[in-house]
């Protein structure tokens, strides 16, 4: 094999796919944060070594296949292990979905190659901006799937200080910029006139130091402040196996489990998981609901219960209801899971293959009011709704606490539960609010207002997590403005970078 052939192999799609898979180590559960920007840096290096948009797209697609193939392989678990889809069909469906997700880095690769800008501009402006914009589009296109946004991998690094300002997508921009600086530092070639390679490396080191130092300094800012007295909370993890959860023969045992766990708590706010009671609220014995709420009500507290509800029009909702000393209230999930909680008409054939109960929900209110319970105003979200930061802030700054109830038993013992906890940590950091997570099989956790895990339960155990939390008031910049500042910054930087060659050429022609 010739030297050119070896070089071509080392710069080909296979190493790009390996780098994409390696980037997953930067996310939970491993949390080796540096892996993510290093993997991006490798991809960016491959991109600037080619001027072919088609090849750059191929490299981006390979990176995406490796990244999502390794990082969201748990989709197969939900389709096959719990949805009863035949294994070959589940494997094909998972591969096709990962292929769809891989189109986003492929598009970034093609567009940056077509930008006509120099390598340094591509690495420090064009690629980070396009990467961030692609993640943002992925978060809402076709219902949205914002999993594995690069910003999540930086939750435990100095870069996390940017999250309360510009959210996870702004943090992704910072991570991609970090990766671009790594490429410049490692290669020293930038096609910048009158600047030698050593100078490029010096500026790269300075850029990395400034990026990290500014993020670290921002972590010291208290964007929100304590409000009211500390609150004793209890998060109930029933550990009801997904294969048994909707079995009518298991219903009485499920009710008994939750009643016993609630009766053993001593908190003013008790939270049960998503669809903890696998039967419509209207069909649940009122005497049981009263027994469930009685010990909490006696302490002047409230209980949040995940349970499906329906209305007189025959619509179904995935809901959380409050029971206890405060007036009864309800929150219904607004961002439903396509093919899991609602079915577009053209995809009805897929659901006929799957065994998914309660797959025809109606979305709840787009702008819900926080639930007033246990002396707090609580912004409730259900399952993967907490992956959408701008939807969480719709209940802020009025809400003093965040609560997520989930049933990630659908994904078994996979990467999904740990990744979901990492997402919840980012929502706490963005909003400056404590996040309480009550799940069926894990990860049940208390996350403080700085995104740190203050307490958690082991997965696949029946237990209650008790702790004391503090409600907070005030608003971070992200709560006030959402993703708009990050999007505006990326677009402005991209427009300036693309316009600069033309402006420079006109100036030189005069």
Q: How far is CA 30 from CA 33, 64, 71, 441, 497, in A?
A: 9, 19, 12, 20, 36
Task: Pinpoint the alpha helices (H) of 11-86.
Answer: 13-23, 35-48, 53-71, 74-76
Residue 274: active-site member: yes
The single residue of 135, 274, 376, 385 carrying the catalytic annotation is 274
Report whether the peptide linkage leading into residue 282 is cis, meaning its omega lies within 30 degrees of zero: no
98 is catalytic: no
Q: Tell me the two tokens of residue 240.
A: 């009801």
Contact 61, 103 (CB under 8 A): yes
According to DSSP, the β-strands at 225-226 and 472-473 are antiparallel
Residue 443: cis peptide before it, omega within 30 degrees of 0:
yes
Q: For residue 319, which phi and psi values (nearest 5 degrees)?
A: -125, 165
- Number of alpha helices (DSSP H) and beta strands (DSSP E) in the chain: 18, 14
Beta bridge partners of 232: 468
Out of 135, 383, 385, 430, the active site residue is 383
Per-position DSSP letters for 98-132, written without gaps between them? HHHHHHHHHHHHHHHHHS---HHHIIIIIHHHHHH
Q: How far apart are CA 411 and CA 95, in angstroms?
A: 16
d(CA 403, CA 19) in angstroms, rounded, equals 35
Q: Is 333 a catalytic residue?
A: yes
Residue 349, C-beta contacts closer than 8 angstroms, at least 6 positions apart: none
DSSP 154-178: GTTSGGGGGHHHHHHHHHHHHHHHH
Which two three-digit tokens encode residue 100? 């769809």
The active-site residue out of 98, 333, 341, 430 is 333
- Give me the active site residues, please: 274, 333, 383
């Amino acid at each position: 094999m010739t030297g050119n052939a070896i070089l071509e192999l080392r710069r080909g799609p296979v190493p790009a796919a390996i780098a994409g898979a390696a980037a997953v180590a930067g996310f939970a559960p491993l949390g080796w944060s540096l892996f993510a920007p290093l993997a991006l840096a490798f991809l960016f290096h491959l991109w600037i070594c080619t001027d072919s948009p088609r090849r750059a797209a191929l490299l981006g697609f390979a990176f995406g296949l490796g990244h999502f193939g390794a990082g969201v392989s748990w989709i197969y678990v939900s389709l096959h292990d719990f949805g009863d889809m035949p294994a070959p069909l589940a494997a094909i469906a998972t591969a096709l979905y990962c292929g769809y997700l891989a189109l986003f880095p492929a598009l970034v690769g093609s567009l940056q190659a077509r930008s006509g800008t120099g390598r340094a501009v591509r690495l420090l402006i064009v690629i980070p901006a396009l990467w961030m914009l692609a993640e943002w589009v992925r978060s809402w296109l076709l219902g949205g799937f914002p999993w594995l946004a690069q910003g999540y991998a930086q939750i435990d690094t100095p870069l996390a200080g940017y999250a309360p300002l510009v959210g996870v997508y702004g943090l992704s921009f910072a991570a991609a910029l970090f990766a671009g600086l790594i490429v410049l530092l490692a290669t020293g070639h930038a096609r910048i006139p009158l600047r030698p390679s050593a100078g490029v490396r010096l500026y790269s080191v300075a850029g990395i130091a400034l990026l990290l130092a500014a993020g670290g300094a921002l972590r010291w800012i208290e964007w929100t402040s304590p409000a009211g007295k500390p609150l004793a909370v209890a998060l109930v993890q029933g550990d009801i196996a997904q294969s048994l959860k909707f079995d009518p023969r298991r219903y009485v045992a499920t009710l008994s489990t939750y009643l016993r766990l609630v009766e053993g708590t001593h908190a003013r706010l008790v939270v049960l998981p998503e669809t903890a009671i696998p039967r419509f609220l209207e069909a649940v014995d009122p005497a049981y609901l009263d027994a469930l709420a009685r010990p909490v009500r006696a302490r002047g507290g409230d209980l949040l219960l995940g349970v499906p509800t329906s209305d007189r029009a025959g619509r179904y909702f995935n809901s959380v209801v409050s029971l206890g000393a405060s007036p009864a209230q309800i929150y219904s999930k607004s961002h439903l899971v396509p093919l899991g909680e609602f079915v577009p008409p053209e995809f009805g054939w897929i659901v006929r293959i799957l065994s998914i109960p309660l797959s025809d929900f109606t979305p709840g209110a787009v702008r819900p009011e926080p639930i007033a319970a246990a002396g707090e105003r609580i912004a409730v979200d259900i399952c993967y709704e907490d992956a959408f930061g701008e939807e969480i802030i719709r209940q802020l700054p009025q809400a003093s606490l965040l609560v997520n109830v989930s049933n990630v038993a659908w994904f078994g013992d996979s990467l999904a539960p740990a990744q979901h906890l990492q997402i919840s940590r980012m929502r706490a950091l963005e909003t400056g609010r404590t996040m309480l997570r009550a799940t069926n099989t894990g990860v049940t956790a208390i996350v403080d207002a700085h995104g740190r895990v203050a307490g958690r339960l082991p997965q696949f155990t029946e237990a209650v997590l008790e702790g004391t939390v503090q409600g907070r008031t005030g608003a971070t910049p992200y709560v006030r403005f959402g993703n708009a500042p990050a999007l505006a910054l990326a677009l402005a930087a991209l427009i300036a970078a693309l316009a600069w060659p033309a402006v420079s050429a006109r100036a030189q022609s005069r």
